[in-house]
Amino acid sequence: MRKKTGTKPATRKPAKVQKIIASPHPEIPEKAEISIQGCDDLYREIRIDNTLTDETGDEVKLKTGAEVEVTIEADKKDTTPKDSPRY
């Protein structure tokens, strides 16, 4: 994926909410388990706090089965051209 000049290098991966994990305690937020497409099997699932903010600033949460995107961004100084040797 190419981004406009002046923005951070980034990639987006399609993903799906596999399940919602209930909180074991009121002070611990529930979790959303998300399966990311295009990743190695061992590293495909991530778990995040199930709290998002909508366009009006209200807190919302994901539903099981929701189609989402996972975005990875990095500062330009933390990247190298793809055809560079690995370090």
Report strand pairing: 31-36 vs 59-60: unpaired
Q: How is residue 37 written in tokens?
A: 């497409």
Reported as a single tens digit per residue, the pLDDT across 15-68 is: 999 999 999 999 999 999 999 999 999 999 999 999 999 999 999 999 999 999
Distance from C-alpha of 11 to C-alpha of 1, rounded to nearest angstrom: 6
Q: How is residue 5 written in tokens?
A: 């000049």
Q: How is residue 17 written in tokens?
A: 């909410």
pLDDT bin (cut points 50, 70, 90) of residue 86 is: low
- Phi/psi for 83 (5° steps) reads -90, 10
Q: Where are the domains of the chain?
A: 10-74
Distance from C-alpha of 87 to C-alpha of 26, rounded to nearest angstrom: 45
